[in-house]
Structure 1
Amino acid sequence: MRARPFLAAAALAPALLLLAGCGGDAGTSGASAATCPGGRIRFGVEPYEDPAKLKPAYETLAAALQRKLDCPVELKIVDDYSAEVLAMRNGQLELAEFGPLGYVFASRLAGAQAVASFADAKGALTSYTAGIWVPTGSPITSVKDLAGRSLALSSAGSASGDALPRYALKTQGVAESSVKIDYAGGHPEALLALVNGKVDAAEINSQQLATARAAGTFDPAKYRQIWKSEPVPNDPITVSGRLDPAFREAVAKALVELEPADVAKVGAFLDVDPPGPLVRVTEQTYKPLFDLATTLGLTEKDV
């Protein structure tokens, strides 16, 4: 079955990068300003793609934010959704980008407040879709045919890689117990499980599909999509609710004032092409994900 234990805060991976220089040291006036609580800003990102690939993309975004706020930004690539939520709850992160479903629980458990997300060149908030794919020659033609078959999902707590495919099973009357669900460990791993013939079907969201096609690791002509979700708003960047509202507003303002080039590398992983600036979002933007969690009866133990 699916639920993995809710991880301890110690599961946080070590910081991969410390961006220093623009904000000065902790003894400067910037360190005591509303834009630099404690002399640094710790920014968490869950590794929805290979961390080695994510690091330079988020380095660019974090460096730009550092310049805007005149405060060192410490980038932390965490182990998974659970570790990220707990890190913010335990005061170890000031900022964090969550997947949409991870944000639902981060808001409940850690007071995470969504402030910005990714827009297209016209300034419209972008979205993505979850999908279930099979080989072209597979006898599986619908979600109902997954009974008795194996299905690779990315990881517990992912909206497109866990909750939405499971919601598809529920709405199509397919008992989860009748499907051999394999949590592959991430979106790239779920795709590879299908490509390598280890499962009958796999979740592949539109973001991972675009990345894999660009890298030449997935040929859509050899596979067929049997299910596609409604659009999901892209990942929110959040601020810890325990911090001064003045800091939250300063971060939100700085994020939406970043140049498209500052966020383009991250946007490429989120299928934002061509990229625009970040745009403001609120909890209401992600209401469909709150509703989904309620419908499936999800708790923090499912993340």
Structure 2
Amino acid sequence: MSATKSVTSYTSLPWAIAFIPRLPRDRPALRVALLGLTIALASGCTQTPTAQAPTSSSKPAALRISVQPTKDKTEQERMIAPLEAHLEKVLGQQVDFLVAKDYKESVDMLVDGRTNAAYAGVVSYFEALERGVKVEPLVAPIDKYTARPWYRSCIIVAANSPIKTLSDLKGKRVAFVNRSSTSGYLMPLAALKQLKIDPDRDFAQVMFGGTHAQTEALLGANQVDAIATNLATYSEWKKLGKLTAQDSKVLWESSPVPHAPVLVSQDLPPELIEKLKEAFLTTPPGIQDLMGAETAGYTLVDGEDYESIQQLRLQLNFAEKGSTQ
């Protein structure tokens, strides 16, 4: 790895993520496969948890959808309003969005039945399955700029930082988002592990911001030397003037990562699930994705599209740990 290179891609590492498109009906969807995984970690891998077959269920009085926190509550509620109105119009029934206080609560809501659908990260999807929740991925957002259902994880440092490579992070203060965050923890951690870097051992301090916005604030306040997030969120921060090209830069970015899915309970009536698919696939332009991505609509996905992320979790011995932050 060149000491002068400011951006490192996964393609320079011994393994990479590649996307194999698939065409369910007339809609493109995402399939992900890991190529040449060579992470030298203790394995102890177990089989990917599988959801059970759906049981018969009556239509709920209201469809309740949990949302992982990505912004401050006021901003997230503003983003929810137009999508909520669209879904209610297509479904012909009440739709309630519940913003979770953290990543773990978004899964808790599915476990205890407070919600029957969720905007959740990929890691949270597998955590839900491991806790016995019968859910399946329904749709995922299409990135506005790439026209693909994927995004990139990244690590950001100050523009004048002496940090030039991932190895330079040793002895520095680094903030991740949450242990259940795909872009804000899992993907950067995998890249660090490839270089034999252990955050707990090699960093001066490891922090968890809780949300992408709170993690960004740590870098803005100079409380840390680097943060993990994703390029879409970083681009939004620059547009809002929270971080700019003059005061920050990308140290590292990943290869494409599948966008977070909208999960639905398999206990919902099949006809309602089909109508929900229709509702998302006909989302009008301009309605923002609730996880923060700038989107050009949604596409159909299923569990196989996220299998590579689960395999990475198993390689890193994450499957049994769950979220602790």
Measured against the shorter chain, the TM-score band is: 0.7 to 0.9
Q: 2:222, 2:246 → 1: CA distance?
A: 16
Match in the other structure for 2:3: none
Q: Is the contact made by 2:119 and 2:291 (CA closer than 8 Å) also made in structure 1?
A: no
Q: Is the contact made by 1:41 and 1:93 (CA closer than 8 Å) also made in structure 2?
A: yes
Which sections of structure 2, spanning at least 5 residues, go unmatched?
1-55
Match in the other structure for 1:50: 72
Note if 1:93 corresponds to 2:118.
no
Between the two proteins, what is the percent identity of the paired residues? 24
- Residue 171 (structure 1) aligned to one of 185, 194, 201: 194
Q: 1:291 offset after TM fit, Å?
A: 1.6
Q: 1:80, 1:115 → 2: CA distance?
A: 22
Q: Is the contact made by 2:184 and 2:212 (CA closer than 8 Å) also made in structure 1?
A: yes
Which sections of structure 1, spanning at least 5 residues, go unmatched?
1-33
Q: 1:248 offset after TM fit, Å?
A: 2.1
Q: Is the contact made by 2:57 and 2:269 (CA closer than 8 Å) also made in structure 1?
A: no
Q: 1:121 offset after TM fit, Å?
A: 6.3
Using a 3 Å threshold, how does the CA distance of structure 1 residues 280 and 124 change in structure 2: closer, same or farther?
A: farther
Per-residue Cα deviation, 1:3-61 (whole angstroms, up to 9, x for no partner): xxxxxxxxxxxxxxxxxxxxxxxxxxxxxxx9972311101101112221111211211
- Return the TM-score normalized by structure 2: 0.75
Per-residue Cα deviation, 1:204-235 (whole angstroms, up to 9, x for no partner): 31122122111111112322322111111222
Note if 1:252 corresponds to 2:277.
yes
Q: Secondary structure at the match of 2:104?
A: helix
Q: Is the contact made by 1:118 and 1:279 (CA closer than 8 Å) also made in structure 2?
A: yes
Note if 1:209 corresponds to 2:234.
yes
Match in the other structure for 1:23: none
Deviates more, 1:208-217 or 1:242-251: 242-251
Paired residue type of 2:202: S
Note if 1:73 corresponds to 2:95.
yes
Count, aligned residues? 265
Q: Secondary structure at the match of 2:109?
A: helix
CA RMSD in angstroms comes to 2.3
Match in the other structure for 1:235: 260
Paired residue type of 2:284: E
Q: Is the contact made by 2:57 and 2:267 (CA closer than 8 Å) also made in structure 1?
A: no
- Return the TM-score normalized by structure 1: 0.81
Paired residue type of 1:157: S
Using a 3 Å threshold, how does the CA distance of structure 1 residues 254 and 223 change in structure 2: closer, same or farther?
A: closer
Q: 1:126 offset after TM fit, Å?
A: 2.7
Note if 1:119 corresponds to 2:142.
yes
Question: Larger % of helix: which?
Answer: 1
Q: Which has the higher contact order (CA 8 A, sep 6+)?
A: 2
